[in-house]
A and B are shown apart, each in its own frame.
Chain A
Amino acid sequence: MTRRVRQEMARSSADPTRQVSLTVNGEAVTREVSTRLLLSDFLRHELGLTGTHVGCEHGVCGCCTVTLDGAAMRSCLAFAVQVEGADIRTIEGVAGAGDVLHPVQQAFHECHALQCGFCTPGFIMSIVTYFEENKDPDLSDDGIRAALSGNLCRCTGYQNIVKAVRRAHELMKA
C-alpha cells in the first residue's frame, strides 16, 4: 500500500477554549477545554474516566449517568464548561475505601444484573442516587421499575436489575 506523505496538520482543534475547574470523585481538576466538548467526552477522554459510557448521546439511554452535586444527570446532555465549580461523581468514585465494592455494585454481581456491562455504570449511578435520595425507598416491583425507568438495558431484560436493587437495599441495611 502506498503511504501518503503526512499532511501538515494542526496539533489541536481550532475550537475556542475556556478554562473549567471542578471536583471529580473528590479530586480537584482544572482543564482548558473546547467550549463544545460534552461533559461525557470530557470525563472519558480528557480525564480518562472511561467507566461513564455513551450509548445514544441524546439523553435517552442513561449509560452516561453521573451525579452532579449529588443529583443524577446525563453527562451527554451538558458541556464540560457548564459544570464549572460542580462536584461530579462517576462510577469510578463509587466503590468504598480499600476498593470494596459499593453495595449496589456487589448486588449487581450477586444477582447477575449485568451481561455486556455497557449500561451498568449508568444503572449503578442512578440506583446509588435513588437510595441516597430515598431513605425509605419503594421496593415493590413497580416501585423499583419506576426508579429504573431512566436507563435502557438491551441484555438483561431488567429482571435481575430489579432483584439487585432489593439485594443492595439489604446489603446497605446490614
Chain B
Amino acid sequence: MSTAMFGARVQRLADARLVRGEGSFIDDIPLEGALHVAFVRSPFARARILSIDCQAAREMESVAAVYTCDDLGSLDILMPLLIPHPSLDQPRTQRPLARGDVFHVGQPVAMVVALDRYTAEDAIRLIDVDYEPLEVELDLQAAVADGAPRVHEDVANNVAAHFVQSTGDPDGAFARADHITKIKVQVDRSTAAPLECRAVAARWDRVSGELTVWDGTQAPISVRGGLASILGLDEDKVRVTAPDVGGGFGQKVLLFYPDELLVPFAAMQLGRPVKYIEDRNENFIGSSQERTQIHELELAATKDGEVLGLRDSFLHDTGAFIPYGIAIAQVASTSIAGPYRVPNIWVEFKAVYTPTVTITPYRGCGRPQACFAIERAMDKLADELGLDRFEVRRRNLIRDEDFPYRRDGLMFADGLAVEYDSGQYGRALDMMAEHIDLDGFAAEQQEARAEGRYLGLGLGFYVEGTGLGPYEGSHIRIHPITGKVYVNTGLSCQGQGHETVFAQVAADQLGVDASDVIVVEGDTAAFDWGVATFASRAAVVSGNAIHKAAAKVREQVLEAASNMLEAAKEDLVLEGGKVFVNGVPDMAATLAEIATASNPLRYAFNEAAKTSTQFAPASRHDGPALGEGEAPGLEATDYYSPPHAAWAYGVHAAIIEVDPDLCSITFKRYICVHDCGRMINPTLVEGQIMGGIAQGVGGAHYERIEFDEEGNPRNANFMDFLMPYATEVPHAEILHIETPSPLNPLGVKGVGEAGCIPVGQVVASGVADALQPLGIGPLEHVPLTPDMIFTALGGEKEE
C-alpha cells in the first residue's frame, strides 16, 4: 500500500466553508414556518409539583401549544437506560416532562411552542407551577450516610450502583508490603461547554409519513433507532442528520435529552417544523456534566518503591439520573493503576444520586479522576520513601516486554478485559526528562528561589483506553460520472476533522488525492449501521472500517482495469486517479472510466457512458451483462469491530510559577510526550491534544460548577464559570512517539480525550513543587483554585 496520504499533514477539507461563515449548524438551516420551543424548568433541586396552570400561556395568540406531562400521551415515559449493568440495581431515568416530582434545578416541567423564541419565553413566564420544596443533600459524602435526604424516595443512601472488581491477590500484597501510602483525592464537577449549545429541529411530512430530524448529536444513528421505537415509526421513515456540530466533548452523546423527543413529537402534532435552540444558561442547568469523584486510595509498596498492590474506594456523583449507566465510574475504576505494573488491585465504587443535573461522560470520562488519584499517590509514595518522582515511576512502569499487559478481573467499559496492547512507557518518561532538561531546571528553580520567585515542575503520566467497540462500518463507492470517491460512515463529527483523516485513509487505497474523497457522515440516509462518536474511537473504529472497505474497492478497480487494459493485475499501478500498466503510462484508464465500464448501461447519457452501452465493443454480447454473482459499479461495505480497547498513553510536564501572595499560577512551559499509535495526520492529532490540554487547564485551575446548599447552580453562565481564554492556556510543546497498535490494520489508537487527562495532576504537583520551601500542605483536590492554594499555605479563610 502506498503511504502517501497516511501520516501526512494534510490541511483540513472542511475549513473553506467554516472560515467563510458558511457552515450549517442547526440554527443556520432555514426551516420555512418553523415554530420555536422554550421550556419551563424547575427552580428547585427537589420538589413535589402541586399544580401547573398553563391557561394564560395557552391563550396567547402567538403560542401554538403548551405541553405538560399530561399532554404527552405515549411519550410520557421513563426515558431509556442506555447502558444497563448488573451492578446498577437502582437505575432511575428521567421523563421528558416532569410528572409529580422534580429532581434538579433545570429539569423541564412544561414546553411551549410559539411563533418565535421571544414569544415562547414570554409564555413560559405565564405558566404557574406550584411546588412543595423537599430537603436536599448536595455533599456527596453526606448523601450516602444513613438518614440523608433521598433524591429518589425509594433509593436508600442514594446509591444507584455498587461495584467491586479485583485482580491478583490484593490482600496478600498489602500483607507483604514494607510501606503503605494512603491518600484521599477529589475532582470536582465541570461541564463540556461546547460553544454551540445543543439544538434540535424536526419536520414531519404528513403525506410521505417521513420525519426529518436535525440534531446536534454525536450519535445520529442511535437517535434514529430510539426515535423510531419511541414514536412508533418505521426506521426507514425517520432520518436523523447531525450537520455541522459546534463541539460535543461527550455532552452530545447522551440520548435522549427531553427536547430530542419532544421537538419531533411537537412537529408531528402541530404539522409545522419545530426548533429548539438551547441557550447557554440551559446548557448549564439542563445538559449533562461530569467529574465529581472522591477517591480513597492506598498503595502497598516495597521499601524500594515497587508498588505491589493498590486499593481504591471511591464515590462517583451521578447527578439526579443515571441514563448512561456506570460507564464513567467503570472507566475510572479500570484505569486506576495507570501505566504501572501493579499486579494486585482491588477497586470499588458507589455511584451516588445527587439532586443535580445528570452526569454523563465529558471528555476524559473518568480518566482524569483516576489519573489524578494514582498520580498524586505516586508522588506521595515518592515523598514518603525519599525517592525522586521520575525514579519511582521508572521502577513501576509497564516495560516494553510486558505487552500485551492484562489486568485479569478488571472489565473495561466495553465489557471486555483490560489489556494494554502496546507502548514504550519508559522511553516516553526518558524523552520528557531529557526535553525538560531536569538539571537545567533544578538550577533555574534554585536561582528563582534566591530571588523570592517560586518555580515548580509538574509531572503526570496517563493511559487512555480508546477505540471502543462494538463496531463501525463504511460504504465506499467510486462515482461513475466524476470518478470521485464517496465514503459514507455512521459517525458524526463535532470538529475533530473526520472528513480529512477518513479521506486520507481511503485515498491511500484508491490512489487518489484526499481532496477527491467526499466523506459523508452524520446522516442516517447515507449510512445507518453503527453507533456514535465517543471514547476516542472514530479514527480507530471507523478509520479501520474505511480502510477495509477501501481495500475491497481497490481489488474491484484492479480487477476491472485488468479486463479493460488487458493486462495482468500484478502489472497495474493505481495512482493519481487512474490505473496504468507499469512502465506504460499511456495504457491507462481513469477511475471514472473504470467505474462507468463496471456499470452496464442502456443509455449513453455522456461520452464516457457510450463505452458501457449494449452495442459498445467492450460490452458483453454472449450472455447477461452482469454475470451471476456480479454487481454493477465499484463499491463495497465493510466493518471493523475491535477485539478490545487500544491503549494510548503519554506524559505531561509543566514548569509553573506560583505567586504565593496572589496564589496565582503562570505556566512557563508545558510539554506533552504522547503515543497514540500510528498517526493518520499529525497536525490534527496535535490539534486534539492542544484542545484537550486547554480543557484540562480549565479543570485543573478554573472551572467548577458551584451549587449552593439548596442545589441552585451559582455560576451557570460564562461570566461566572471560568472557561480559559487564550491568556490562560499555555503554549504546548508536543513530542510524538508512534508505537503501532497490534489490534487493527492501521495500527492506530485514539487521541480525542488524551490531552485533558493528566492536567490536574500536572498543576497540583507543579504547585506543590514550587511552594515546597514555604511548607505547603497537601494538594489533593482540583480545580486547585487560588483559595485552595492560600489555605494549603496555612492562610485563614475569610468568609
Chain A interface (Cβ < 8 Å from any Cβ of B): 1-4, 6-10, 12-15, 34, 36-37, 44, 48-58, 60-61, 63, 90-92, 94-95, 101, 105-106, 108-110, 112, 114-121, 124, 141, 144-146, 148-162
Question: With A3-B271, A52-B21 given, is the CB distance from A9 to B246 under 8 Å?
Answer: no
B31 CB to closest chain A CB (Å) equals 11
Q: Is the CB of B719 within 8 A of A109?
A: no
Chain B interface (Cβ < 8 Å from any Cβ of A): 11-12, 14-25, 27-28, 30, 61-65, 73, 115-116, 118-119, 192-197, 206, 231-232, 244-247, 249, 265, 268-271, 279-280, 494-497, 683-684, 686-687, 689-695, 717-719, 723, 725-727, 729, 731-732, 755
Q: Is the CB of A158 within 8 A of B116?
A: no
Closest residue on chain A to residue B29 by CB atoms: A50
Q: Which residues of A contact B687 (CB under 8 A)?
A: 112, 115, 155-157, 160
Q: Is the CB of A120 within 8 A of B19?
A: yes
Bound-state CA distance A157–B249 (Å) is 14
Q: Is the CB of A53 within 8 A of B246?
A: yes
7 A-B pairs with C-beta separation under 8 A: A60-B718, A117-B19, A154-B192, A155-B195, A157-B694, A160-B690, A162-B731
Question: With A61-B195, A120-B18 given, is the CB distance from A158 to B717 under 8 Å?
Answer: no
Q: Which residues of B contact A36 (CB under 8 A)?
A: 118
Closest residue on chain B to residue A58 by CB atoms: B717
Bound-state CA distance A133–B555 (Å) is 58
Q: Which residues of A contact B28 (CB under 8 A)?
A: 44, 50
Q: Which residues of A contact B11 (CB under 8 A)?
A: 109-110, 112
Q: Is the CB of A108 within 8 A of B25?
A: no
- Not counting A48-B30, A116-B495, a sample of 8 additional A-B residue pairs whose C-beta atoms are within 8 angstroms of each other reads A14-B61, A36-B118, A55-B197, A91-B21, A109-B12, A118-B246, A146-B727, A158-B725
- A-side interface mostly: loop
Q: Which residues of B contact A157 (CB under 8 A)?
A: 687, 689-694, 729, 732, 755
Bound-state CA distance A6–B567 (Å) is 68
Q: Is the CB of A151 within 8 A of B280?
A: no
Total A-B contacts with CB atoms under 8 angstroms apart: 219
Q: Is the CB of A155 within 8 A of B247?
A: yes
Q: Is the CB of A154 within 8 A of B249?
A: yes
Q: Is the CB of A10 within 8 A of B61?
A: yes
Bound-state CA distance A6–B35 (Å) is 13
Q: Is the CB of B495 within 8 A of A159?
A: no
Partner of A151, one of B115, B231, B694, B725: B725
Question: With A51-B21, A118-B246 given, is the CB distance from A155 to B495 under 8 Å?
Answer: yes
Partner of B118, one of A10, A15, A55, A156: A15
Q: Is the CB of B717 within 8 A of A14?
A: no
Which 5 pairs across A and B sit closest by C-beta, in order of nearness? A51-B21, A116-B495, A118-B246, A117-B18, A91-B21
Q: Which residues of B contact A146 (CB under 8 A)?
A: 727
Q: Is the CB of B65 within 8 A of A91?
A: no
Closest residue on chain A to residue B115 by CB atoms: A13
Closest residue on chain A to residue B114 by CB atoms: A13
Q: Is the CB of A141 within 8 A of B270?
A: no
Q: Which residues of A contact B726 (CB under 8 A)?
A: 144-145, 148-149, 151, 153, 158, 161-162
Q: Is the CB of A154 within 8 A of B247?
A: yes
Bound-state CA distance A68–B462 (Å) is 47
Bound-state CA distance A169–B231 (Å) is 54
Q: Which residues of B contact A4 (CB under 8 A)?
A: 65, 269-270
Q: Which residues of A contact B15 (CB under 8 A)?
A: 108-109, 114, 117
Partner of A1, one of B30, B65, B231: B231
Q: Which residues of B contact A56 (CB under 8 A)?
A: 280, 717-718
Closest residue on chain B to residue A116 by CB atoms: B495
Bound-state CA distance A159–B11 (Å) is 16
Closest residue on chain A to residue B695 by CB atoms: A154
Closest residue on chain A to residue B246 by CB atoms: A118
Question: With A105-B19, A118-B247 given, is the CB distance from A155 to B691 under 8 Å?
Answer: yes
Q: Which residues of B contact A158 (CB under 8 A)?
A: 690, 694, 725-726, 729
Closest residue on chain A to residue B16 by CB atoms: A109
Q: Which residues of B contact A58 (CB under 8 A)?
A: 280, 717-719
Bound-state CA distance A120–B17 (Å) is 11
Question: With A48-B30, A116-B245 given, is the CB distance from A92 to B20 under 8 Å?
Answer: yes
Bound-state CA distance A163–B732 (Å) is 12
